[in-house]
Amino acid sequence: MFPKNLPQRTLDQEKPLKLSLPKSAAAVMLGAALANSAAAQTTQSEVFVTSDISTSTTWTANNTYNLQKQIYVLPGATLTIEPGTIIASTTGLGGSLAVSKGAQIFVQGTKDNPVIMTSKDDVATWIGGNPDTATWRETANEWGNLTIMGGGYISEDATTGNVPTPNASNVAAMEGLVAGFAGDPKVLYGGGNDDDDSGSINYLSLRYGGKVIGLNNELNGLSLGGLGRGTDISHVEIMNNVDDGIEIWGGTVNLQYVSIWNVGDDSFDIDQGWRGKAQHVFIVQGFSLDASQGSGVGDNAIETDGAEDSDWQPVTSAVIYNATVVGQPIDGDGLTAWRDNARVQYRNCIFMDGGEKVVRFDDVDGDGAQGYGHNGTTSWADTWTTPFDSYSTVNAPANPADFYKSQVDGNLAEIKDSVFFNNNDYAEALARGIDAPGNNNVIEPASMPIKGITRDGSVVKGGKVMQRVTKIDVRPTADAMTSAGMAPNDGFFTTGNKYRGAFDPGNPNWLHGWSAADAMGFLGDKQIIADMVIGVTPVARLVVSPNVTKATVVRNGQVLCDETPISAGGGVFSFNCGGTVVNISRVGGSYQWTVPAIGASGKLRIIDL
């Protein structure tokens, strides 16, 4: 399994290998030790935000910020939020943050110091003010949300003056925001700049939000209206929102490393012609409140509307790589829902535990749209067999190839190179040909495609039978360990290893260290990840289970062995990787690896603990 021409060298390890306490235990100990000083700092440094932001402003980590109402970052202004900053708003007051078109936000969180937007009641569960000690609660609607509005093209037919062709004058008022007057520009999104730059978001955790403004007017965890591809969004988490997790209206924004848990409506919701890309999307359906489905109990995992109305343009034409979608096994709605000519390509994904339909053909959105095939547009069936570059001529832009850039091959709608496990209803999915050999899908294999999952017993919430996920080991296994293809190297997608689902088996879990899911103990203990190095060149990636009983080796993007048992003793452990024995030994303060069969050895370079 290993190359036979590796030179023999033994070098010191760069970082000591150690086994840490489970995160929850370590966090509690740290929080207790710092209780007095941290609690005092939180109280003394609270800043009440009462006015819109009209000049460029920086929020710093030595303060906490309490949003007292809907706060707007107004056009021309920039809001920068430093690493480690906490925005904790008074529970029930309805404070929220909205970035108007023409303004920018820069959320500068890091893995070690994320930015957290939440409620005061959530912070009250943190021991000593340490967010690593957060406790999950069955609740939401405790504060508002984050909304960002940009100037990309949208298709929206409810605003007077909008037209069905792509037009820079087409705008819409953002859902959930309270306008000061009709046509108030601070709540409008849309325009004619698909390269619009509304800023960047990195390592942001949004918890317990979604303030209800009125009937059918609830705030999503993260609302994105008309954002252009110049906006960067990476490492964002939504935990327990009353409405959708993330909703996108039009534009071309791309997203990576997105986690959505226990939201009360759709987890990932698309409207009005989104033409973007997403990769590493992790969805866990559940509930945030004991309320009706759509206002506390999860609805569809991914819901895609094409355009409003169906023959308007732009129409949703997107591509999603490496999603892990975990549904509700009894009463969950669709894992993928399709409406109004939506065109989405799903590749290298895991879809599991869907209690209802894997592919849910809703056709229309309930808002008066006409559905697939309306006015000469592509029919539902033909959308799955029509090449991506067969652009609709109905209300078309002058330059369709330049206007629709996210899909670069395949058909307008497809699910390929994915694993489907423990799902109840495949009827529509099979009618659309997901079982065709060329799609490289694996349907209902004998083994679960992730390492493990634990659920609570059945409870009735909002009239639906729910089984909440309490712990999950998201690492791919079995048929998810390798895929036929991978995302293209286009400057946005992460490439290198072939696998299915949101988590690379040869790299650290990207939720560790910053997310509520990690802090609340949903992810279990960390594994140890190290590069097997000769000289300065990594030759393989070693992943050791948290209890140091099993090992996985990945080389050149391929899994050489997975979960092979370890035998340990006397400061040494060994395992058999595809017929080749690998030894790990400690020499002084360093750890070394050897493969006796080929006379190769080297050091371990620790990547993550």
- What is the tens place of the pLDDT at every residue in 477-493? 999 999 999 999 999 99
**Token duo for residue 490:** 């286009």
- Of 308-312, 390-394, 554-558, 567-571, the poorest mean pLDDT is in 567-571
CA distance 182 to 565: 66
- What is the tens place of the pLDDT at every residue in 467-476? 999 999 999 9
**Token duo for residue 233:** 């969004």
- 572 vs 53 pLDDT, higher one: 53
CA dihedral 452, 457, 458, 460 (to 10 degrees): -120
The residue ranges of every structural domain in the chain are 23-444, 526-608
Q: Is 524 left (phi over 0), alpha (psi -120 to 50) or beta?
A: left
Q: Which helix (H) or strand (E) holds 403?
A: helix 400-403
- 558 vs 139 pLDDT, higher one: 139
Decide: helix, strand or coil at residue 554: strand
* Per-residue pLDDT at 545 exceeds 50: yes
Residue 281, pLDDT score:
98
Mean pLDDT, rounded, for 29-38: 33
Q: What is the pTM of this model?
A: 0.89
**Token duo for residue 563:** 């979960």
- Of 211-220, 236-245, 311-320, the poorest mean pLDDT is in 211-220
- What is the tens place of the pLDDT at every residue in 578-602? 899 999 988 777 789 999 998 999 9
User: Dihedral sign, CA of 37, 43, 44, 45?
Assistant: positive
Place of tokens 């832009």: 397
- Of 157-166, 213-222, 314-323, 446-455, the poorest mean pLDDT is in 213-222
* Per-residue pLDDT at 5 exceeds 80: no
- What are the DSSP E strand ranges found in 24-145? 46-49, 57-59, 64-67, 70-73, 78-81, 86-89, 96-99, 104-108, 115-119
- What is the tens place of the pLDDT at every residue in 491-501? 999 998 899 99
CA distance 436 to 465: 33
- 557 vs 244 pLDDT, higher one: 244
- What is the tens place of the pLDDT at every residue in 226-239? 999 999 999 999 99
**Token duo for residue 105:** 């936000």
- What is the tens place of the pLDDT at every residue in 300-309? 999 999 998 8
Q: Which helix (H) or strand (E) holds 474?
A: strand 469-476
CA distance 163 to 326: 39
* Per-residue pLDDT at 511 exceeds 90: yes
* Per-residue pLDDT at 216 exceeds 60: no
Mean pLDDT, rounded, for 156-165: 95
CA distance 272 to 310: 9
Mean pLDDT, rounded, for 537-544: 91
* Per-residue pLDDT at 42 exceeds 80: no
CA distance 508 to 290: 35
- What is the tens place of the pLDDT at every residue in 268-300? 999 999 999 999 999 999 999 999 999 999 999
**Residue 396: CB atoms within 10 Å:** 16
* Per-residue pLDDT at 98 exceeds 60: yes
**Token duo for residue 286:** 């559940």
